[in-house]
Amino acid sequence: MNKTQPRTLSGFMELLPNEQILFEQMKNTIEATYQQFGFLPIDTPIIELSEVLLAKAGGETEKQIYRFQKGDTDLSLRFDLTVPLAKYVAKNYGNLSFPFRRYQIGKVYRGERTQKGRFREFYQCDIDIIGDGELSILNDAELPSIIYTIFKKLGFEDFTIRINNRKLLNGLFEAIGQKENSTEILRIIDKIEKIGKEEVIKELEELDIETENITKILTFIEIEGTNQEKLKKLKDLQIENEEFSEGLKEITETLKYVGLFGVPEKNYKLDLTIARGLDYYTGTVYETFLNDYRELGSVCSGGRYENLADYYTDKKLPGVGISIGLTRLFYKLNELQLIKAEQKSISQLLIIPMLEELEKPIKLASELRNLNIKTEIYLSDKKLKTKMKYADKLQIPFIIVIGEDEIQNNKVKIKNMQTGEEIETDFDAEQIAKIIDNIE
Amino acid sequence: MNKTQPRTLSGFMELLPNEQILFEQMKNTIEATYQQFGFLPIDTPIIELSEVLLAKAGGETEKQIYRFQKGDTDLSLRFDLTVPLAKYVAKNYGNLSFPFRRYQIGKVYRGERTQKGRFREFYQCDIDIIGDGELSILNDAELPSIIYTIFKKLGFEDFTIRINNRKLLNGLFEAIGQKENSTEILRIIDKIEKIGKEEVIKELEELDIETENITKILTFIEIEGTNQEKLKKLKDLQIENEEFSEGLKEITETLKYVGLFGVPEKNYKLDLTIARGLDYYTGTVYETFLNDYRELGSVCSGGRYENLADYYTDKKLPGVGISIGLTRLFYKLNELQLIKAEQKSISQLLIIPMLEELEKPIKLASELRNLNIKTEIYLSDKKLKTKMKYADKLQIPFIIVIGEDEIQNNKVKIKNMQTGEEIETDFDAEQIAKIIDNIE
């Protein structure tokens, strides 16, 4: 028979079980934190009508989309979780309570050119808070505390949540008569870390912005100091339009409360350079960097938008949200060996029967499971050596070998596979469970 | 601006948050049980190369597949989790430990004709145990105990796991000289519950099977009695070919051990009529019925196959597995009102600040989260009535209103929203957490 080569598409992550265990742990940490802050789960389809999914999209996004016909229907795979959220909120408006706090963790699809560390299928872990008509700026201040909690739980210390407000930038552009260029300018500024100051100046010149105004833009994004000093310097710029004033008020309040929400000074800062390319965001924007690994780019980003779903509904639905691209994060952390897929088994205990009559070993396994010990029983008729090798390869923490002696004496030995230590105890599930719980 | 109507494709389940909470609970119950038995997680892509995914498929399956081109590549969405498992095991053979016990919970896609209760996107929750070259029949006996544990945990009592062995049927067909018709006969027998005995006879006659042999087939599938009685009657048939003998030996051993694995007599039985249509299965087969709701069909099915991945590899990889179609199960149970989406919030506690200075309420919320109380703080500047309405609508179990009085007296009242009861305590996270933990 001709064999098909078993292979997985490039740009699609497929992990070995030990890596998958670690991936699931990270995903669970993120989900548990979202729940800790009271966010509600939703789960939307991966396939949507193209007409619905692409109601707003265009340009780059559209090119990357997996789009196809099924029968007469024009379908697309979701490329993020934000458009499905917009659809969901517009569709279920009457059945939701606002502010609507939702989380969604799921796979999204982008047919990008394959390159190392870029994925065509990847998990996004999103939260958003959607207001009905209005949404307090305090929500913008709460999100960084969620980012902080997650990255702390994931084991990081030295990371910075960079916060900015697009209204400051827009106010500046208005002041220098460049409002119509603002999207373009934002896009350029956003790249300053990547392409450097000279290149930014060059690109701004290409937009026919006067040197004087380019200087103003650069002075603005180069404002230095503590958060308080930066806020003062912003005020001193004396930019007198409404958008700038609003931005200054919002960022001042946001920064004040981020601290109250428990994020230490060293883990957040006002960064006037970040704009989050997309013209989607209208107020607060966030990026998060692991300071020793800036090359990873932002590991958690997001921001405030004035209108979640204006292409579906007349209702004004302002929101603020963040997203973690977990697949890429996992890949990069693994590559940098900042995480290690050490755990190879889900089982805590392997019972190895070495006798004909399996009744008692099987019963013990069931009892231990009922006591919440993840228990596996080796069921194939193999030599002890083969069975031990299995336990060894999977690094199952504990094993109990049960032979005729153990049955007769009503005693078992729990072997700690890491230390080699053996603890003898009665052939009794409760006692065994207690011992295992105590060691772990 | 022209609005696009926000809608979801028919055949795609999209739940409201309260329903989603319940769905996640069921999914978590299934996953936790799989882990309790030591199964390892894997997660394969939803998109695969058509060549890989359809290496074996044909007929009905192929018609239902979401298949499309992206650039020059012929892609398909997975229609089950078994083919991806086969690919995974063949691809990663050298890196896995056998018996390989894996679980996978994920969405699969079938472009079926839409009808009520049928889904085009649905969750499958699968476990399989894959042997390298051979796999003990004891594994076939372990799976019903996992099915049993799950449906007990989901709150069901009166369900039956029906077990059969295809070798018995095949042995019978051999004995009556109908081996070449076996797939067709199995397909017909499998429908006896649905179409009735007369129709089965008619369809068998259409295969040109002699009346005498049709009688033998019917006698066989109508064997009645306890499991032990049925086994005896099977033996008394004195069918003398190897396949039948093997089947009898396997089913005898399987049934013996299912009991030892802790499944009560009333929850499993030998059912000689079930065959699981597909010619995929070669030995043990399972179906699970909620006895008061037979119309649901089987809620958990599976079986033994001789060769998981023969279209990818020469390695002999026998396996046994089960699958729960969670989306359909959820839909049907909900429709029958056997489950109720009562929980509307993830938060256990809502803190409602009624003052200017939010420092203390925010700090309290953070502390409570650290004590594992899922806590939300109402951040919009609204009247108390609006805030209370939000808590009410989401049925958040506890609320604490914090005004100037609470700050000054350093006391708070925890309101139990279900009973209306209020408990006064110090403005102290640990005391509050203890009270909430005690009530819940």
Return the bridge partners of A245, or none: none
Subunit contact B346:A390, Cβ cutoff 8 A? no
pLDDT at position B328, please?
95
Say which of A38, A109, A366 has its CB closest to residue B374: A38
Q: In the structure, what pLDDT confidence band is assigned to residue A187 with cuts at 50, 70 and 90? A: confident
- What average pLDDT does range B135-143 have in this prediction? 97
Contact B29, B145 (CB under 8 A): no
Average pLDDT of chain A to the nearest whole number = 94
Subunit contact B97:A138, Cβ cutoff 8 A? no
Residue B128 has pLDDT above 80, yes or no: yes
Above pLDDT 90, what percent of chain A? 86
A377 in reach of chain B (CB within 8 A): yes
CA distance B53 to chain A (A): 9
Average pLDDT of chain B to the nearest whole number = 94
- What average pLDDT does range B138-143 have in this prediction? 97
- What average pLDDT does range A107-124 have in this prediction? 88
Q: Which residue of B has its CA nearest to A379?
A: B138
Above pLDDT 70, what percent of chain A? 98
Query: For chain A, how far is it from start to end, CA to CA, in angstroms?
Result: 49
Query: Which of 141-160 (A) contact B at CB < 8 A?
Result: 142, 145, 149
- What average pLDDT does range A153-169 have in this prediction? 95
What are the DSSP E strand ranges found in A33-78? 40-41, 47-49, 67-70, 73-77
CA distance A339 to chain B (A): 18
Q: In the structure, what pLDDT confidence band is assigned to residue B295 with cuts at 50, 70 and 90? A: confident
Task: Please tell me the distance from the alpha carbon of residue A135 to that of residue A317, in angstroms, as a whole number.
Answer: 8
- What average pLDDT does range A33-59 have in this prediction? 92
Lookup: tokens for B388: 């209370």
Cα–Cα distances (Å) from B108 to A45, B326, B431, in that order, read: 11, 11, 47
Residue A115 has pLDDT above 80, yes or no: no
The fourth-level CATH superfamily of domain B17-44+81-335 is Bira Bifunctional Protein; Domain 2 (3.30.930.10)
pLDDT at position B58, please?
61
CATH class of residue range A349-439: alpha beta
DSSP B119: -
pLDDT at position B330, please?
97
Contact B435, B423 (CB under 8 A): yes
Subunit contact A6:B90, Cβ cutoff 8 A? yes
Residue A330 has pLDDT above 80, yes or no: yes
Give the model confidence (pLDDT) of A394-423 as tens digits: 999 999 999 999 999 999 999 999 999 999
Structural domain boundaries in chain B:
17-44+81-335, 349-439
B5 in reach of chain A (CB within 8 A): yes
How many other CB atoms sit within 10 Å of the CB of residue A16? Answer: 15
| Nearby residues of A392 by Cβ (< 8 Å), 6 or more positions away | A417
Residue A393 has pLDDT above 90, yes or no: yes
pLDDT at position B132, please?
97
DSSP-derived secondary structure for B144-165: HHHHHHHHHHTT--SEEEEEEE
Give the model confidence (pLDDT) of A83-114 as tens digits: 999 999 999 999 999 999 999 999 999 987 77
- What average pLDDT does range B338-363 have in this prediction? 95
| Nearby residues of A17 by Cβ (< 8 Å), 6 or more positions away | A344, B40, B41, B42, B96, B102
Q: In the structure, what pLDDT confidence band is assigned to residue A184 with cuts at 50, 70 and 90? A: confident
Q: Which residue of A has its CA nearest to B370?
A: A36
- What average pLDDT does range B194-220 have in this prediction? 92
pLDDT at position A377, please?
97
pLDDT at position A313, please?
96
Residue B370 corresponds to which amino acid?
N
Measure the CA dihedral A22/A27/A33/A34, to 10°.
180
Task: Please tell me the distance from the alpha carbon of residue B65 to that of residue B56, in angstroms, as a whole number.
Answer: 13
Say which of B6, B35, B98 has its CB closest to residue A52: B6
Give the residue from A43, A69, A388, A390 with the most B CB atoms within 10 Å of its CB, the best one to mutate. Answer: A43
Residue B61 has pLDDT above 80, yes or no: no
Helix (H) or strand (E) holding B319: strand B319-325
- What average pLDDT does range B192-200 have in this prediction? 89
- What average pLDDT does range A229-241 have in this prediction? 94
Residue A375 has pLDDT above 80, yes or no: yes
Handedness of CA B255, B258, B263, B268 (dihedral sign): negative
Give the residue from B19, B29, B75, B138 with the most A CB atoms within 10 Å of its CB, the best one to mutate. Answer: B138
Structure-model confidence comparison of residues A375 and B60, the more confident one: A375
A392 in reach of chain B (CB within 8 A): no
The region of weakest confidence among B83-92, B176-185, B228-237 is B176-185
Cα–Cα distances (Å) from B270 to B54, B283, B428, in that order, read: 34, 13, 60
pLDDT at position A182, please?
83
Task: Please tell me the distance from the alpha carbon of residue A315 to that of residue A94, in angstroms, as a whole number.
Answer: 11
- What average pLDDT does range B209-233 have in this prediction? 93
Residue B355 has pLDDT above 90, yes or no: yes
The reply to whether ipTM tops 0.90 is yes
pLDDT at position B278, please?
63
Subunit contact A262:B16, Cβ cutoff 8 A? no
Interchain CB contacts (distance < 8 Å): A and B: 262
Residue B348 has pLDDT above 90, yes or no: yes
| Helix, strand and coil percent figures for chain B, each rounded to 5 | 45, 20, 35
- What average pLDDT does range B101-107 have in this prediction? 98
pLDDT at position A277, please?
65
pLDDT at position B277, please?
65
Subunit contact B45:A310, Cβ cutoff 8 A? no
The region of weakest confidence among A54-58, A67-71, A276-280, B48-52 is A276-280
Sheet holding A411-416, edge to edge: A375-377, A349-353, A398-402, A411-416, A422-426
pLDDT at position B279, please?
67
pLDDT at position A279, please?
67
B355 in reach of chain A (CB within 8 A): no
Does this model's pTM top 0.80? My answer is: yes
- What average pLDDT does range A428-437 have in this prediction? 96
The region of weakest confidence among A57-66, B325-334, B391-400, B428-437 is A57-66
Subunit contact A142:B379, Cβ cutoff 8 A? yes
| Nearby residues of B336 by Cβ (< 8 Å), 6 or more positions away | B293, B296
Give the model confidence (pLDDT) of A359-369 as tens digits: 999 999 999 99
CA distance B261 to chain A (A): 6
Structure-model confidence comparison of residues A273 and A51, the more confident one: A51
Lookup: tokens for B304: 């033994």
Subunit contact B47:A393, Cβ cutoff 8 A? no
pLDDT at position B407, please?
96
Give the model confidence (pLDDT) of A9-42 as tens digits: 999 999 999 999 999 999 999 999 999 999 999 9
What are the DSSP E strand ranges found in B121-261? 121-130, 159-165
B99 in reach of chain A (CB within 8 A): yes
Q: Residues of B with CB below 8 A from A309's CB?
A: 6
